Structure 1
């Protein structure tokens, strides 16, 4: 189980906030995860700040709110984990060219509707949804839900892929859509080493 320090050691390689949220669980490409960065509500807030979904002032407010209302924080954390399970089902199905279940898509629709009820439409270079005035314990997952729906409705679904070396998902932005690894510095390097060792053994045996 990870600690708050473990949150800032995780790799943000998904290319999308929702995919990075799924990647808070680690493990092999198939099967159950073997570790989880999100051990509790404090880690959820720390991840939101680290991944860019929360500003530090917003995170400070949420830490105070969770201290004053631990039961409410636990409810919000439980819902955050349910959301992660739902997003995991959706995006792993998409990465495998399968259709997610209708029930999980309906929950995601409801989560997006709830997130936008707490949002503000702000103008920068373009208009965008923000949650600047949302000081509720559910705040960390609002931008995650919205990022997920935006990716599903406007992204290229064939660019959503699973890493060949671990359970991480990512959005492949390479020109020829040939990316296979979450990171060449980690899983990609490990595969190169494995192939090198196998080739040496083959030459030695010959």
Structure 2
């Protein structure tokens, strides 16, 4: 399956599958997003494969299934956008040290219950939930929802941050918790350049 150009250009900088899913929308740190990688079910499947939530055979099977049942694939895609909105609301509240609303947390609880209802417990180094036997069109969403709940219930909430230069969210794994940017190669470099230009302009001439 060929990866759509927009998906292939994505930066996976969240440090968590759910945060990378939220980061499929780009834009400034404050305000509405200005671009969206997920434009249809095909892009959702491509993103799942690109982010490691789906194997290539799973992605190919879902692509065939969506072509055979376009109405149900559209329902699954609409659900994915709703889940992304919910995760965005919850995680941004946590990053701002606020409590998310009860209704959005209830929906996340129900989405996690649905995800686990389609999961199996498999052994790797330890036991964990997998969705290898789930052939349904909602398959790309299951590990995303589970990753979000695991981050909220088992992670260090004060490490969840928003980038200072764009709307991306990430887990700050730095030792002193000082990370400010989604990526030093992008937003970090842009800020350094802005400061450099500002410093040059402030220097006295002559």
> TM-score, normalised to structure 1's length?
0.98
**Number of the residue aligned with 1:57:** 57
- Distance in 2, Cα, partners of 1:143 & 1:50: 14
Q: What's the CA shift for 1:6? A: 1.0
What SS does the aligned partner of 1:121 have? Answer: strand
What SS does the aligned partner of 1:129 have? Answer: strand
What SS does the aligned partner of 2:129 have? Answer: strand
1:35 aligns with 2:40: no
Structure 2 counterparts to residues 66-145 of structure 1, below 5 A: 66-145=66-145
**Number of the residue aligned with 1:148:** 148
- Distance in 1, Cα, partners of 2:55 & 2:5: 18
**Number of the residue aligned with 2:184:** 184
Q: What's the CA shift for 1:8? A: 1.1
Q: What's the CA shift for 1:4? A: 1.5
Q: What's the CA shift for 1:205? A: 5.5
Moved over 4 A (4+): none
- Distance in 2, Cα, partners of 1:86 & 1:168: 15
Gaps of 5+ in 2: none
- Distance in 1, Cα, partners of 2:124 & 2:169: 30
Tell me how large the CA RMSD over aligned residues is: 1.0
Q: What's the CA shift for 1:145? A: 0.2
Structure-2 change in CA distance of 1:205 and 1:111 (3 Å): farther
What SS does the aligned partner of 2:30 have? Answer: coil
What SS does the aligned partner of 2:128 have? Answer: strand
Could you report, residue by residue, the CA deviation over 1:74-119 in whole angstroms, capped at 9, with x for unpaired residues?
Answer: 0000000000000000000000000000000000000000000000
1:9 aligns with 2:4: no
> TM-score, normalised to structure 2's length?
0.98
Could you report, residue by residue, the CA deviation over 1:11-39 in whole angstroms, capped at 9, with x for unpaired residues?
Answer: 00000000000000000000000000000
